[in-house]
Homo-oligomer: A and B are copies of this chain.
Amino acid sequence: MSVQERKQRERAERERLIVATARELAEQQGWDAVTTRRLAERIEYSQPVLYSHFRGKREIIGAVALEGATEMAVAVRAATSRANSPRERVAALAHAYLDFATRNPAVYDALFQLDGGLPYAQEDTPEPLKDAFAALLESLGEVAGDGVDPGLFTETFWASLHGLATLTRAGRLPPEYIEPRVELLVDRLPMG
């Protein structure tokens, strides 16, 4: 019995190693550099081992995304908990969100840009994803304003942040003046 348990532990450990290595490699050199060969070499196993843990590269991206969702929820809640008014909370949330995207571009891509094979905005959406959205909803829902659904407001505000994050990082927006753009959103979208 204990032998099997040890093996399970080791297997789980190796799975964590795969995800962590993929993430590291993606942050260092971009997701294009995360090939199954390179990944296998870094974890010091052969390629097929990856496929005994994940169906394919997509699922590995998905695993990184889930990890990232949990961290993002933590980061957002940490930032908003330090604020003292609804308005302040929104500002703190916006900055925490964009900060996360800037500091973890590869994770952010895995979450919102790439195909990780995860279902979003559905019943079977994984818990970390639902919780990340919940973290946004907690602070944004209270400033939706009269007659506006909190979920809908959260989605819209989130989409705006997402637009800023992606366009900036893709070089479509000049990188300076990020701050005033965020201010604009924070000043005008919330109500009440």
Q: Which residues of A contact B (CB under 8 A)?
A: 112-113, 119-121, 148-149, 152-153, 155-156, 158-164, 166-167, 170-174, 177, 180-181, 184-185, 188-189, 191
- How far apart sit A115 and B120, CA to CA, in the bound complex (Å)? 25
Q: A171-B121, A173-B121, A188-B188 are in contact. Are A152 and B166 (CB under 8 A)?
A: no
| Copies of this protein in the complex | 2
Given A153-B184, A188-B191: 17 more A-B contacts, CB < 8 Å: A120-B172, A120-B173, A121-B171, A121-B172, A121-B174, A152-B180, A152-B181, A156-B160, A156-B164, A159-B167, A160-B160, A160-B163, A161-B163, A162-B166, A163-B166, A185-B189, A188-B188
- How far apart sit A166 and B111, CA to CA, in the bound complex (Å)? 13
Docked-complex contact A184 and B148, CB < 8 angstroms: yes
**Chain B residues within an 8 Å CB radius of A167:** 112, 158-159, 162
CB distance from A170 to the nearest CB of B (A): 7
A/B interface sample: 7 pairs, CB < 8 A: A113-B170, A119-B171, A120-B173, A159-B167, A163-B164, A163-B166, A188-B189
CB distance from A63 to the nearest CB of B (A): 18
- How far apart sit A111 and B156, CA to CA, in the bound complex (Å)? 22
- How far apart sit A166 and B163, CA to CA, in the bound complex (Å)? 8
- How far apart sit A126 and B90, CA to CA, in the bound complex (Å)? 37
- How far apart sit A155 and B180, CA to CA, in the bound complex (Å)? 11
Docked-complex contact B121 and A170, CB < 8 angstroms: no
Report which of B155, B156, B181 forms a contact with A155, defined as CB distance below 8 A: B181
**Chain B residues within an 8 Å CB radius of A159:** 160, 163-164, 167, 173, 181
